[in-house]
Amino acid sequence: MTWLDLWGNTFEAISVARQPDCPNCGEHHFTFLEGAGQARPSRVGPRHVQVTK
Ligand SMILES: [Zn+2]
pLDDT of residue 53: 61
Residue 37 has what pLDDT? 66
> Under a CB-based contact definition with an 8 Å cutoff, are residues 36 and 51 in contact?
no
Q: How far is the CA of 25 from the centre of ligand 1 (A)?
A: 4
**What does pLDDT average to over the chain?**
83
38 C-alpha vs ligand 1 centroid, how far in Å?
18
The string of pLDDT tens digits covering residues 4-29 is: 898 999 999 989 898 999 888 889 88
- pLDDT cut 70: percent of the chain above it: 91
Residues 22, 16: contact at Cβ < 8 Å? Answer: no
Kindly give the distance from the C-alpha atom of residue 22 to the centroid of ligand 1, in angstroms, as a whole number.
5
% residues pLDDT > 90 (the chain): 15
CA–CA separation, 47 and 44 (whole Å) = 8
